[in-house]
Amino acid sequence: MLAVRRRGASVQVDAPETPEPKAAPGEEPSRERTRPRDEPEPELVEAWVQFLRDHVTQAVNALNNRLSAIGGSAQGVIRSNLDDTQREDIQGIVQEVRLATEVTGSLLNRVSSEAPEIPPPAWNLLKEGPTRPGRILIVEDDDSNRAVMARLFRRLGHEVVTASNGYEAFDVIQREQLDCIISDLRMPTLGGKTLFEQVEGKKPDMASRFIFVTGDYTRPESYEFLQRSGRPVVGKPYELDQLLSAVATVFGAMGVLLDAPPPEEPGSAPT
Running DSSP on this structure, what letter comes out for residue 130?
B
Residue 26 has pLDDT above 60, yes or no: no
Integer Cα distance of 160 and 99 in angstroms: 38
Lowest model confidence (mean pLDDT) among 13-17, 161-165, 170-174, 183-187: 13-17
Residue 204: what pLDDT? 93
SS3 162: strand
Encode pLDDT of 36-89 as tens digits.
Answer: 555 667 777 777 777 777 777 777 777 777 777 787 777 777 666 767 777 777
Integer Cα distance of 197 and 204 in angstroms: 9
Quote the CATH superfamily of domain 121-254. Answer: Response regulator (3.40.50.2300)
Where are the domains positioned within the chain? 42-112, 121-254
Residue 50: what pLDDT? 72
What phi and psi, each to the nearest 5 degrees, are found at residue 214?
Answer: -165, 150
Give the Å distances, CA to CA, from 101 to 54, 64, 72, 107, 188: 19, 12, 17, 10, 30
Q: C-alpha angle with apex 231: 164 to 3, nearest 5 degrees?
A: 105
Integer Cα distance of 49 and 137 in angstroms: 23
CB of 125 closer than 8 Å to CB of 249: no
Integer Cα distance of 19 and 164 in angstroms: 51
Running DSSP on this structure, what letter comes out for residue 3?
-
Residue 2: what pLDDT? 37
Residue 66: what pLDDT? 79
Residue 189 has pLDDT above 90, yes or no: no
pTM for the model: 0.62
212-241 burial string, b = 16+ CB within 10 Å, else e?
A: bbbbbbeeeebbebbbebebbbbbbbbbbe
Write the burial class of residue 74 (CB in 10 Å: 0-12 exposed, 13-18 middle, 19+ buried).
Answer: middle
CB of 258 closer than 8 Å to CB of 222: no
